[in-house]
Amino acid sequence: MNIIEQFSGVDHAAQLRASRARSRALTRDLSGAQLMGPRLPIVNPFLWELGHIAWFQERWCLRWRGEGALADSVLPGADALYDSAAIAHDLRWDLPVPGLEATLAYQDRVLDLVQERMRRESGDPEFAYFAQLAAFHEDMHAEAFHYMRQTLGYAAPQLQGGDANSAADGDAVPAADGDACIAGGRYLLGAGRATGFVFDNEKWEHPVDIRPFRIARCCVDNAQYLQFVEDQGYLRPELWSEAGWRWLRQGGAQAPRYWRKHEGSWQLRRFATWLPLPLREPVTHVNWHEAQAYCRFAGRRLPSEAEWEIAASCAGGGAKRRYPWGDAPPEAQHANLEGDAPAAVDGLPRGDSAHGCRQLIGNVWEWTDSTFTPYPGFVPDPYKEYSAPWFGTHKVLRGGSFSTPARLIRNTWRNFYTPERYDIFAGFRTCANES
């Protein structure tokens, strides 16, 4: 098994409980028809997904017996209900899944059994790996619950946390306008072998040669993107790629999905509520095609994922940081994570990278120009369906969003979606075109 990890200092039982608490918080107010929702290609039924979380945790932490071998589930027939690699997406609304009470009981039973095993086998590094995998898997589904609520127009989830914009409203916030200038040279891209748990698509760090580049210190905000909209950017084919223009014509968009002009003023829908367009927030819920078109409008380009990671992690002398601000875990002063809304793009200056780039971690996922491909020497981890099926068809996003749990994210994390997806909490920052 191609896993070389360090797990010292990680309380896996606490992480599993925290992941469960977050996924429950994001779904606990849903009932009746909300638990299934409409049959859309960009969402799953909430009820199915709650069961899938338990199934995944049980599969890897309790049932896995090596390549191709699984013990029985505590829920008879669970594989036929919840195996996402084997069950077509459109069929998930038709499956005879248990009701909500029984589904939550299945979750509780699995978590109890996993923690019992954890107490017995606390020194087993292989089990620790799968416990970490299960916690991160649930974290990712919790973020999916968050953006599914936005997609379906459900009420905002009731989460405990501060005002995301409060950190940006003080008089002492330094400006972060313009570009950071980053020298060319040979850099290391990817995760190092002594950095703790990483997914297979982050393995392993390898040298890349990069030309000098200039990258925006902040993400594109709603005020900047509004200029593109009001200059008829959605009606100008010269700004769009062939694939982007085809997507645009099929859907007829004239602005980001959750924008509207009402009585002469632009508004944004956040969950079930229409708000005046918050001009200082990063533009969010735009897809890769929209980001590319804006870049052409602005005479800019998207960064490659290597440029993004260099801007986030390199601090001079070849040293890499785990986070833009250093190696200390994220705190509220560094990044807008585990929250309920984006912060202003110039907030949280204590999270700046060594190059002065702001909010590379948290707030919004950031589209890059890069196609999702394996790093040299790629070998899939036991969860083979995580990365390999999506190489070549998805685009890479970096950095996490306001809904991402802090324990999940780091500079080397690679997210990936198809270029037409607008539903995730994604925006972008730009680079200067080379002269």
Instruction: Give the pLDDT confidence score for residue 173 in this predicted structure.
Output: 63
Q: Tokens at residue 343, please?
A: 């912060």
Higher model confidence: residue 164 or residue 153?
153
Q: With contact defined as beta carbons under 8 Å apart, do 280 and 221 qualify? A: yes
Mean per-residue pLDDT of the chain:
93
Least confident range from 31-45, 163-177, 266-280, 412-426: namely 163-177
% of the chain exceeding 70 in pLDDT: 94
Instruction: Give the pLDDT confidence score for residue 169 in this predicted structure.
Output: 42
Residue position matching structure tokens 């390999």? 388
For residue 51, report the phi and psi dihedrals to the nearest 5 degrees.
-70, -40
Q: With contact defined as beta carbons under 8 Å apart, do 346 and 358 qualify? A: yes
Q: How much is the average pLDDT of 95-104?
A: 98
Instruction: Give the pLDDT confidence score for residue 417 in this predicted structure.
Output: 98
Q: Write the pLDDT tens digit of every residue in 356-375.
A: 999 999 999 999 999 999 99
**HSE of 324, CA atoms in CB hemisphere, 13 A:** 27
Instruction: Give the pLDDT confidence score for residue 172 in this predicted structure.
Output: 53
Instruction: Give the pLDDT confidence score for residue 123 in this predicted structure.
Output: 82
Beta bridge partners of 208: 187
Residue 197 CB contacts under 8 Å (≥ 6 apart), including other chains: 5, 7, 10, 129, 132, 133, 136
Q: Write the pLDDT tens digit of every residue in 320-345.
A: 999 999 999 999 999 999 999 999 99
Instruction: Give the pLDDT confidence score for residue 177 in this predicted structure.
Output: 87
Instruction: Give the pLDDT confidence score for residue 8 in this predicted structure.
Output: 53
Question: In order of start, what are the domains of the chain with their CATH numbers?
Answer: 12-152 (1.20.120), 162-435 (3.90.1580.10)
Q: How much is the average pLDDT of 363-391?
A: 97
- What's the CA gap between 137 and 140, in Å, rounded? 5
- What's the CA gap between 70 and 64, in Å, rounded? 5
Q: Write the pLDDT tens digit of every residue in 220-269.
A: 999 999 999 999 999 999 999 999 999 999 999 999 999 999 999 999 99
With b for 16 or more beta-carbon neighbours within 10 A and e for fewer, the 298-317 pattern comes to bebbbbbbbbbbbbbbbeee
- What pTM value is reported for the model? 0.95
Whether the per-residue pLDDT at 160 is higher than 80: the answer is no
Please give the single-letter amino acid code of residue 363.
N
Whether the per-residue pLDDT at 277 is higher than 60: the answer is yes
- What's the CA gap between 99 and 429, in Å, rounded? 43
* 324 three-state secondary structure: coil
Spatial CA neighbour of 54 closest among 77, 75, 80, 68: 75
Q: How much is the average pLDDT of 382-405?
A: 97
Instruction: Give the pLDDT confidence score for residue 227 in this predicted structure.
Output: 98
Instruction: Give the pLDDT confidence score for residue 1 in this predicted structure.
Output: 45
Instruction: Give the pLDDT confidence score for residue 5 in this predicted structure.
Output: 47
- What's the CA gap between 216 and 428, in Å, rounded? 10
Q: How much is the average pLDDT of 46-59?
A: 98
